[in-house]
Amino acid sequence: MNQNGLFDLTGKTAAVIGGGSGIGEAVAIGAAKQGAGVVILDANGEAAQVVAARIPGAGAAVLDIRDGGAVNAVFDVIVRDRGRLDIVVCTPSINVRKPILQYTSEEFDRVVEVNLKGSFNVLQAAGRLMTAQGSGSIVIFSSIRSQVVEPGQSVYAMTKSGILQLVRGGATEFGPFGVRVNAIGPGVVDTPLTAPIRANAEWYNAYANKSVLGRWARADEMVGPTLFLVSDAASYVTGTILFVDGGWTAADGRFTPPGM
């Protein structure tokens, strides 16, 4: 392996799902800077086009990951037009913050359909193509909620734990074909989706202080860890989760005993 080009993605084709905003947008731009040919996929087609216009040679398409047929079709078009699919990064998820006793069946189905079914559709479609070509790397976004939870987060946390097990299963099945599957576990990240929390000072500060770094993450701070996992620098890394949480899951409390 060329140690000088561990993170070089030149010649690789990367599909970034959720690339129209937030973390996905940052990852797409970062992958392009490392030389990848990028395709922006997002449920918001206009947002995907706006991001793609900022990246030379990038493509864009509408994609709802809840539709398995649509995921397969989009990936097939990428392979037809670009010759191969080397990298898939899947960032989308939704959350309905409610106590278990107040959750409706419709809300449960909505969260599970996007977070779990959608992630499965992506993994299955990417795995079909990558195992056939004998190489590839898939990264699906999980969360610190795969490990720890708070009131109102039960269903979301369930799906994020499920994503981690899905990633592990994919790694075991696709590994013999040269395909790696991993997860990213962000902590709290400053994106448009977390704007309601940011608007509440008490809530915002509570989350900031839970991190041992004392602050939220920026979306661009997810780029390096993600590109590590899809690059040759992580050629022997598969079936795992990389937490990018500012130490959130490392500390079980922030009280410093007297005399310390």
The CATH number of the domain where 37 resides is what? 3.40.50.720
pLDDT band at residue 4 using 50, 70 and 90 as cut-offs: low
* DSSP E strand boundaries for 53-164: 59-62, 87-90, 136-141
For residue 203, tell me if it sits in a domain. no
User: For 115, which DSSP code?
Assistant: I
* DSSP E strand boundaries for 91-225: 136-141, 179-186, 189-190, 217-218
Task: With a cut of 80, say whether residue 260 has pLDDT above it.
Answer: no
pLDDT band at residue 3 using 50, 70 and 90 as cut-offs: low
For residue 178, tell me if it sits in a domain. yes
CA dihedral for 75, 78, 80, 82, sign (positive or negative): negative
Catalytic residues: 156
pLDDT band at residue 198 using 50, 70 and 90 as cut-offs: confident
For residue 131, tell me if it sits in a domain. yes
- What is the span of the domain harbouring residue 125? 6-190+219-244
For residue 198, tell me if it sits in a domain. no
For residue 72, tell me if it sits in a domain. yes
For residue 44, tell me if it sits in a domain. yes
- State the pLDDT at residue 61: 98
Question: What total number of domains does the chain contain?
Answer: 1
Residue 177 tokens, joined: 């074909």
* DSSP E strand boundaries for 81-210: 87-90, 136-141, 179-186, 189-190
For residue 165, tell me if it sits in a domain. yes
For residue 1, tell me if it sits in a domain. no
pLDDT digits (tens, 9 = 90+) for 128-148: 999 999 999 999 999 999 999
Q: Specify the pTM.
A: 0.94
User: What whole-number distance in Å separates Cα of residue 51 and Cα of residue 166?
Assistant: 29
